[in-house]
Structure 1
Amino acid sequence: MSSPEERGLPCVDANSPAVLVLPAEVVRGEVILLCEDVRLRLAATGSGRVVCDAGALVAPGLAAVDLLARLQLTARRAGGRIVVRDPPPALRELIRLVGLPLQVEREVEQREPPGRVEEVGDLHDPTV
């Protein structure tokens, strides 16, 4: 027996994000195509995020940071976000230096320690 041929997009688990492998060298002309790719991947998966694998970048510089900023903006406009996977140390430092709010995969977010509860009252007043 053979099953009927299915048409349309394959079934994708909504919890698994799409992965976009960034090129080894960022070329200005490819930025628009990569942004469109992020938008299409968000629409196809419905997961709300695209993982951008930056491990192949050979000389990460401000062009790579600009690309990631544009990809993040495109993702936000489409109702999602990007997560950067395996960025080289130089790219990670540049992201921090320019203050780009990107999430790096498997990086613990730095949060402020929980605040202490301060009670109002007079320490010398025995009724308190």
Structure 2
Amino acid sequence: MSSAPHSGLLKVDATTPAVLALPGPVIRDEVPRLCARVRAQLEETGAGVVICDVAGLGPPGLAAVDALARLELTARRAGGRIRLRNADPALRALLGLVGLRFEAEGEPEEREPAGGVQEAVEPGDPPL
């Protein structure tokens, strides 16, 4: 099964988030450019989410935490948010340590219960 090659730009709808691959160790001077790209991708796609692939960041450090915090702030100001892809467990732990919570691909959103989880009713609980 094959498809004909596309001519021109691929059509992206509002449900397809943009992906921004973050380069190896983030240098503070690069952060404004990355923030501008997040803002532009939110405007172009209208999806409200930019996926930040952080696999290339290397060992987690405070420079990466600062960059991710600034990217999230930029996305929030533009009416969106960022979601992490390929986040190293050490990076997730460091983000948690400094009090930053990011949604990661493959994790349920905070407002949604995990799939297949049902709340148990204890005897004596009042009906809802």
Whether these two folds match at TM > 0.5 is yes
Residue by residue over 1:21-62, the C-alpha shift from the partner in whole angstroms, topping out at 9 and shown as x without a partner, is 001111000000000000000000000000000011112111
Let me know the Cα RMSD of the aligned residues. 2.5
Equivalent positions of 1:66-77 (< 5 A) are: 66-77=66-77
Which residue does the alignment assign to 2:28? Answer: 28
2:3 counterpart residue number: none
Shift of 1:101: 2.3
SS in 2 for 1:56: helix
Structure 2 counterparts to residues 56-67 of structure 1, below 5 A: 56-67=56-67
2:34 match: secondary structure = helix
Gaps in structure 1 of 5+ consecutive residues: 120-128
Aligned to 1:95: 95
8 A Cα contact 1:57 1:88, kept in partner: no
TM-score (structure 1 length as normaliser) = 0.77
Q: TM-score, normalised by structure 2?
A: 0.77
Describe the shift of the 1:69–1:97 C-alpha distance in structure 2 as closer, same or farther (beyond 3 A).
same
Looking at CA atoms only, which structure, 1 or 2, has the larger radius of gyration? 1
Q: Which runs of 5+ in 2 are unaligned?
A: 1-6
Seq. identity, %: 54
Aligned residues: 113
Q: 1:118 deviation in Å?
A: 3.6
Once residues 75 and 108 of structure 2 are traced to their aligned partners in structure 1, the CA distance between those partners, rounded to angstroms, is 22
* Residue 51 (structure 1) aligned with residue 51 (structure 2): yes
Q: CA deviation at 1:110?
A: 6.5
**AA partner of residue 62 (structure 2):** L
